């Protein structure tokens, strides 16, 4: 898992970005139903590329989507539009589960073979 720490000063504001239709073949936000920013479309592609049992931080998703430091924007997007995206594979930078559906996230991660103990992914990051 990448380090991609959560930047405290970045609130992940996407104000002013033009809205585009979500790319075809990517789960989550339907092309027909909703419009997303280019950053949101990039986040969807990053999540669609995650393999079974692959766990990354919100910050790592933001980095892979081309917006390092936009971890909070990733979290906000997943809270609102997680849908069919593998939202459960995204955790806090310290390995703690952060989704509003912690029990569901833990269940799904364990089903994929990820070690979760007391709400934390064990191999998420090296010790601090």
Say what the pLDDT of residue 3 is: 34
Topology of the domain covering 20-121: Arc Repressor Mutant, subunit A (1.10.10)
Which of 52, 44, 50, 43 is CA-nearest to residue 109? 52
Which of 87, 88, 72 is CA-nearest to residue 39? 72
Model pTM score = 0.71
Residue 6 has pLDDT above 90, yes or no: no
Alpha-carbon span 38 to 20, nearest angstrom: 6
The residue extents of the domains of the chain are 20-121
Say what the pLDDT of residue 82 is: 78
Say what the pLDDT of residue 36 is: 72
Range scoring the smallest mean pLDDT among 68-72, 95-99, 105-109, 117-121: 95-99
* Average pLDDT of the segment spanning 61-82: 94
**DSSP code for 46:** H
Alpha-carbon span 87 to 125, nearest angstrom: 18
Say what the pLDDT of residue 60 is: 97
Alpha-carbon span 38 to 44, nearest angstrom: 10
């Amino acid at each position: 898992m990448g380090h991609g720490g959560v930047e405290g000063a970045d609130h992940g504001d996407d104000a002013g970005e033009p809205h585009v239709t979500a790319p075809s073949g990517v789960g989550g936000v339907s092309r027909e139903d909703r419009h997303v920013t280019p950053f949101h479309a990039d986040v969807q592609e990053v999540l669609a590329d995650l393999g079974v049992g692959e766990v990354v931080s919100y910050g790592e998703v933001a980095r892979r989507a081309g917006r390092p430091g936009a971890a909070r924007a990733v979290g906000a997007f997943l809270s609102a539009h997680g849908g069919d995206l593998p939202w459960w594979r995204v955790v806090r930078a310290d390995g703690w589960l952060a989704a509003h559906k912690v029990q569901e996230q833990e269940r799904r991660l364990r089903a994929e073979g990820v070690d979760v103990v007391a709400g934390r992914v064990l191999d998420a990051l090296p010790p601090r």
